[in-house]
Structure 1
Amino acid sequence: MVSANKEMVVYCFDTLVAHYTSELVPPPAFDEGQHPLFVTWKKVVGGEPRLRGCIGTLEARCLFNGFKDYALTSALRDRRFPPIQAREIPYLECTVSILTDYEPAANYLDWEVGKHGMIMEFSDPDNTRRSATYLPEVAAQEGWTKTETIDSLMRKSGYMGPITESLRKRVRITRYQSTLYTMHYSDYVTFVKKTRGAAPLIGTRPYH
């Protein structure tokens, strides 16, 4: 089984840096394969990482093209946030996730906080079909209970009506697990200097 690793995060940083410098992206240094994947960008200011973009695919994708596509999609086209600017790059932290072990849950409580991510599907009282997902680390990072996580997923799906126990019982949950790897831009710079002999063109000082 392929696990998330340092080279995948480096490739995502390479891709985002190249978007602003017009340099060629160095070839990926990890094995090709087909897996569902996510790329998450956070901006670290004052020691507190804040989400700046998180997009991926629940379907298996070629890892090379998948990370290249979603590194940019999550950085520039997450509708919840303005696009990441070049000057923000030195403050970024990147996490790559590879999703595994998809299985149906027996009910909305049939999963473990910190272990399982979830794909939720349901029809709301107006018979609109809705779906949303959270990666395994989200509920634990937010300090949510299982019920709070389910309710938040309903809101993420766009449902703004009343949340009742009967509605929770009607949701379909597919749970999954993931491996992930996180790296801050400063560690990326250190890695690039060590392995390529020169720092990225977007350096450790803000780039305008």
Structure 2
Amino acid sequence: MVWLLDSAAALLLLCLAMLVVGESASAEEASVRDPAVAGQFYPAEAAELKKQVAAFLVAGAGKAKVEGKPIALIVPHAGYAYSGRCAGVAYATVKGQAYKRVIVLAVNHRGMPFRGGSILSVDAYRTPLGNVPVDKAACATLRESELFGEHASAQRMEHSLEVHLPFLQEALGAFQLVPIVLGDLADDDYAAMAALLRKVMDQDTLVVASTDFTHYGRNFGFAPFEDKVRENIEKLDKGAIDLILRRDGPGFSKYLARTGATICGRCPIRVLLQLLPDKATGQLVSYYTSGDEANDYRHSVSYGAIVFTAPGQWGEPPAAKPVAGPLDVQISEAGQKKLLEIARRALEAVAAGKDLPETRLDDAELQGRNGVFVTLNKDGQLRGCIGNFRPETPLYETVAVQTQQSALRDPRFQPVQPAELKDIEIEISVLMPEKPIKDPLDWEFGKHGIIVRRGWQQATFLPQVAEHFKTKEEMLSACCRKAGMLSAMWRDPETTVLIYSAQVFGEKPAAKAR
């Protein structure tokens, strides 16, 4: 009997040991991000994938002539059948070079929206060619900032990071990966994120910004021209590429806002441009469109590869450039009239399918980087209202851009049509600098606008919206719901409440902003 008990105990211990081993294996398995688009964007079978990537690199080597060791690349992320040739030219410029670390800045196409960067807590990323080890120390350092978090849904089915890995494996061999999928970024996030990335970079770091260029066609909701489509697509892309080569991040963002160019990797590009040292130079080494492949431009995506080099590699961070802040001043009646005229011209242009008119003003009071909301009202009812709290452009330019946004991109409404213009009244709210408050009720009802912010979720109500509510509590609760939070979240210590004042003026008084 004793033997039977001992045997049973031994059997139990063996089962427990097997369970522990199984759990350990599962935990180890869970620490690897498996490929999501193998067999779709690129071959799932290792030998076929290796052969295809090698062919792209060989073909690319004959096209890219770059002086010096690249420090950064801009590379497309479509299926290899479309953008593989372009990617091959970019990665041929780094083939055989030694890099300890590769930072890939990718795009959130399919995950839940969030602010900042997604970095998974995994040990490696798997491809059919094997595992790519993650630089866990660098990732841990970045995740100490609130700008970086797990945001797992952003990477679960995302292709814009994964498709680069087989090219990097074939071109570089051994390296560690810092895999980042970017969500939404505010204007002042680019410099903050670049400063954080600089902490984990050295001379042996390569940065890859993942992006396709213009997505043209009705399937993409972007068909601003129907004549000379191929010529106009390239003209649109080359305007953006020219600003990238000049390392003009704010100009690049302004260009996208003015033209509506559908460049999906705008955030990776902006972060990269913020990172580049002052003496970095870029070279466009490949450009074509998917429409070129089939000679059909009804739906077309553009692909461009850009290589950056710099004497001394990464060297010192770029010198900080002085930027004007918001002005805490009241706009004169003359200034108000000019801003309303700019908004009206912008509205008429974008409703007709044209670019924003070019405007230059020297008025000192219109140069501040103040937040702006432009409200469109039709027959006393809201027709569009979008704003920007932290613009990088002077006030008069911001008014034009936000008029365009309110007319075309308010998700609550269809784009404004030319026939509506005569019935639309424009109201402009120029925001004074915002400030956080400890007591969420410590503000003046009807005088202050409010912002509720919790992680990536945030919303605002302009001061004049108070007329729709009876109490501060009611207005705060509604603002929370607008941000996608529970009504009472403004009471939570983790939620930040900020207030600001605004100077409001319009073509006609008493327009109802929301």
**Scaled by the length of structure 1, what TM-score is found?**
0.73
What are the ranges of 5 or more consecutive residues in structure 1 without an aligned counterpart? 124-128, 185-208
Aligned to 2:465: 138
Shift in alpha-carbon separation, 1:88–1:104, aligned structure 2, 3 A: same
Asked if 1:41 corresponds to 2:376, the answer is yes
Aligned counterpart, 2:389: 58
- Report the 3-state secondary structure (helix = DSSP H, G, I; strand = E; otherwise coil) of the residue aligned with 1:5: helix
Q: Does 1:7 find its partner at 2:338?
A: yes
For the Cα contact (< 8 Å) 1:6–1:181, is it kept in 2?
A: no
Partner Cα distance (1:115, 1:93) in 2: 23
Across the two proteins, how many residue pairs are aligned to each other?
171
1:108 CA displacement: 1.6
Question: C-alpha separation between the residues in 2 aligned to 1:174 and 1:25?
Answer: 34
Matched, 1:74 2:409: no
1:117 maps to what in 2?
Answer: 449
The SS at the match of 2:419 is helix
Higher helix proportion (structure 1 or 2): 2
2:506 maps to: 182
RMSD after superposition: 2.4
1:147 to 461, 473, 489: 473
- Return the TM-score normalized by structure 2: 0.31
5+ residue gaps, structure 2, are: 1-328, 509-514
For 2:490 and 2:353, the matched residues in 1 are separated by: 49
Superposition map of 1:94-105 within 5 A:
94-105=426-437
How far residue 23 of structure 1 moved from its aligned partner, in angstroms, is: 9.4
Following superposition, the deviation at residue 96 of structure 1 comes to 0.8
Residue 6 (structure 1) shift:
2.1
SS at the partner of 2:507? strand
Instruction: After superposition, give the CA deviation of every residue in 1:79-128 in whole Å (9 maximum; x if it has no partner).
Output: 111111111111111111111142222222111111101111136xxxxx
Deviation beyond 6 Å, 4+ runs, structure 1: none
From the CA coordinates, give the structure whose radius of gyration is larger.
Answer: 2
Instruction: Quote the residue 1:190 is aligned against.
Output: none
> Contact between 1:9 and 1:183, CA under 8 Å: does it hold in 2?
yes
CA distances 1:150-201 after superposition (whole Å, capped 9, x unpaired): 1111110012x4x34x7524331110001111114xxxxxxxxxxxxxxxxx
Residues 7 and 28 in structure 1, CA contact (< 8 A), matched pair in contact too: no
8 Å CA contact retained: 1:108, 1:169: no
Q: Is the aligned partner of 1:87 residue 2:419?
A: yes
RCO comparison, higher one (Cα < 8 Å, 6+): 1
Asked if the contact 2:469/2:475 (under 8 Å) is kept, the reply is no
2:479 and 2:404 mapped to 1: Cα distance? 24
Judge conservation of contact 1:107–1:169 (CA < 8 Å) in 2.
no
User: How far apart in 1 are the matches of 2:490 and 2:399?
Assistant: 36
1:56 Cα deviation from its structure 2 partner: 1.1
